[in-house]
Amino acid sequence: MRVKRSLVSAVLAAGLALSLVACNGDSKPDSASTPSATPTPTPTASSTTPTVAPTTPAAPKPRTKAELTKALLGLSDMPSGFAVDDSGDGEDDGSGISSTDSRCKEVVKLFNADTAPGSIATAGVVFSGGESGPFVQEDLDALPSAAAATALVNRAKAAIRSCKKVRLTLTGAGTSPARISEISTPKAGTARVGVRFAATSGPLEGFQVTFVIAALGDVVLGMSFDDPSLIGDGVTLAAAKANRTLGTAKAGT
């Protein structure tokens, strides 16, 4: 099947928007006291005990879309022949995945969503090697913390492992059964997972798209490819640039 931009746009644009359940676990800081070198006599009415206010580290400045955009891959990072593809911006043509299997409920929810409810900021770019592809999409989502980013990736991994088959619909092309398979990914971040959706029969037979997501500190890197040969270099380059630009490498890679 000759894959056209209209066939892959919805799958690529679906991204990896995962519902994130925020865990608020604030704990009270230990109160500080002033030690005494000698026994303290019984205080008189005029004596006072000094108090030391606990110090709270300043919260990190929230990341912005502009900051994330600078950390995305650029044309200079891509192989010759690629261009930025904005033809699918804002598209919602009804394409997506579906399943009647309760074990696939989470996968359907995650991969059909348009946004990541838990993200603070997001930025993305799509590259095209021509009208028929290949296509590469990169998304960066800032989460409230590194722990939240890792939890999001692990949630996606659990959902993927519980579901093996879905139905893939591409508007204008039809609907086909698709096999879900977890794949190995380049080492990137504190947690990572790769998944491939491959149509096994019907009008979309032969079509496949692969997603890779990784937690880079408090930022989640999401990439999608319709050409598996681009995954290794693509993920490695994207993770390295994001870590370098955002300073997420020190949070663990």
Distances (CA, A) of 142 to 112, 139, 222, 244: 20, 10, 11, 15
Q: What is the pLDDT of residue 171?
A: 82
Report how far Cα 33 is from the mean position of its chain's Cα atoms. 44
Locate tokens 């890197």: which residue? 221
Higher pLDDT, 50 or 215: 215
Q: What's the average model confidence in pLDDT over 33-40?
A: 49
Q: Please state, in angstroms and as integers, the Cα–Cα distance from residue 51 to each residue in 20, 32, 43, 45, 207, following that order.
A: 40, 8, 16, 17, 68
pLDDT for 14 equals 43
Looking at domain 5-17+62-251, its CATH architecture is 3-Layer(aba) Sandwich (3.40)
Question: In this predicted model, what pLDDT tens digit does every residue of 112-160 receive, in sequence order?
Answer: 876 665 889 999 999 999 888 899 999 999 999 999 999 999 999 999 9
Q: In this model, does residue 100 exceed pLDDT 60?
A: yes
Q: What is the pLDDT of residue 65?
A: 95
Q: Rounded mean pLDDT of 58-69?
A: 84
Torsion angle (degrees, nearest 10) of CA 192, 238, 182, 215: 20
Band (111; pLDDT cuts 50, 70, 90): confident
**pTM tops 0.85, yes or no:** no
Listed by start position, the domains of the chain span 5-17+62-251
Return d(Cα 16, Cα 119) in angstroms, integer: 11
- Percent of the chain residues past pLDDT 70, beyond the cut: 70
Distance CA 217, CA 201 (A): 40
> 75: helix, coil or strand?
helix
In this structure, are residues 110 and 204 in contact, taking their beta carbons and an 8 Å threshold? Answer: no
CB 85 within 8 A of CB 135: yes
Helix (H) or strand (E) holding 127: strand 121-128
pLDDT of residue 203: 94
pLDDT tier at 183 (50, 70, 90 boundaries)?
very high
